[in-house]
Amino acid sequence: MGARRTETFRRATHSAADSRSPLGIDPPLDVGSPRRYGGTAEHGEHLVGQGSRLARGASASPVTLLRRNPSGEERAVATQPATRARDPGYPSLVRTIEIARDDAGQRVDRFLRKYLASATLGHVFKLLRTKQVRVNGRRARPEQRLVEGDEVEFRLPDERLSEMAQKRAGARSAPATRSLEALSILHRDEHVLAVDKPPMLLVQAGERPDEPTLDRLVLDLVGEGEALTFRPSLAHRLDRGTSGVVLLGLSAPGLRGLTAAFRERRVTKRYLALVHGRPKESAFRVDLPLQRTDTEDRRGARVRVSHGPDAQSASTEMRVVATSPDGQLTLIEARPMTGRTHQIRVHLRASGLPIVGDPAYGDPERVRQIRGSAGLWRTFLHAWRIELVHPVSGEPLVVESPLPSDLRRTLQMAEIAFEPGAER
CB atoms < 10 A from the CB of 206, how many?
10
Residue 158 backbone phi and psi in degrees, to 5: -55, -45
d(CA 357, CA 365): 10
Written as tens digits, the pLDDT of the chain (424 aa) is 454 445 554 444 444 444 444 444 333 333 333 333 333 333 333 333 333 333 333 334 454 555 556 666 666 555 444 433 444 444 456 777 888 888 888 898 888 888 877 777 887 788 788 887 888 888 888 888 988 888 888 776 656 555 654 555 444 444 444 455 567 899 999 999 999 999 988 887 766 667 788 888 888 888 766 677 788 889 999 999 999 999 999 998 999 999 999 999 999 999 999 999 999 999 999 999 999 887 665 556 689 999 999 899 999 999 999 999 999 999 999 999 999 999 999 999 999 999 999 999 988 888 888 887 788 899 999 999 999 999 999 999 999 999 999 999 999 999 998 766 543 3
- Which helix (H) or strand (E) is 94 found in, with range? strand 92-98
Using a cut of 0.75, tell me whether the model's pTM lies above it.
Answer: no
- Which residue in 279, 273, 276, 275 sits closest to 403, CA to CA? 273
Cβ-contact 400, 420 below 8 angstroms:
yes
Q: CA of 107: how far to CAs of 143, 193, 230, 310, in Å?
A: 5, 26, 14, 33
- Residues in a beta bridge with 8: 96
DSSP helix/strand/coil, 350: helix
- Residues in a beta bridge with 202: 213
- Residues in a beta bridge with 316: 286, 336
Sort residue 289 into left (φ over 0), alpha (ψ -120 to 50) or beta.
beta
Cβ-contact 349, 299 below 8 angstroms:
no
Query: Which CATH class, in words, describes the domain spanning 6-171?
Result: alpha beta
d(CA 212, CA 197): 12
Domain limits of the chain? 6-171, 183-413
Q: CA of 60: how far to CAs of 38, 83, 99, 134, in Å?
A: 19, 5, 25, 27
Out of 102, 239, 294, 406, which one is annotated catalytic? Answer: 239
| Burial group, residue 45, by CB count within 10 angstroms (0-12, 13-18, 19+) | middle
The set of residues, in sequence order, having a beta carbon less than 8 Å from that of 242 and lying 6+ positions away, is: 197, 199, 271, 379, 381, 382, 383
Cβ-contact 29, 44 below 8 angstroms:
no
d(CA 133, CA 122): 14
DSSP helix/strand/coil, 95: strand
d(CA 258, CA 91): 44
Q: CA of 174: how far to CAs of 205, 211, 223, 294, in Å?
A: 10, 10, 12, 30
* DSSP labels, 16-31: TT-SS-TTSPPPPPEE
Residue 159 backbone phi and psi in degrees, to 5: -65, -30
Cβ-contact 347, 302 below 8 angstroms:
no
**Residue type at 259?**
T
d(CA 48, CA 138): 20
Give, as one character, the DSSP assignment of residue 209. T
- Which residue in 46, 49, 50 sits closest to 68, CA to CA? 46
Question: Selecting from 1.50.10.10, 3.50.50.60, 3.40.50.450, 3.30.2350.10, what CATH number does the domain 183-413 have?
Answer: 3.30.2350.10
* Dihedral (CA of 302, 306, 309, 312) sign: positive
d(CA 419, CA 413): 14
* 239 catalytic residue (yes or no): yes
Q: In Å, how far from its chain's centre is CA 416?
A: 39
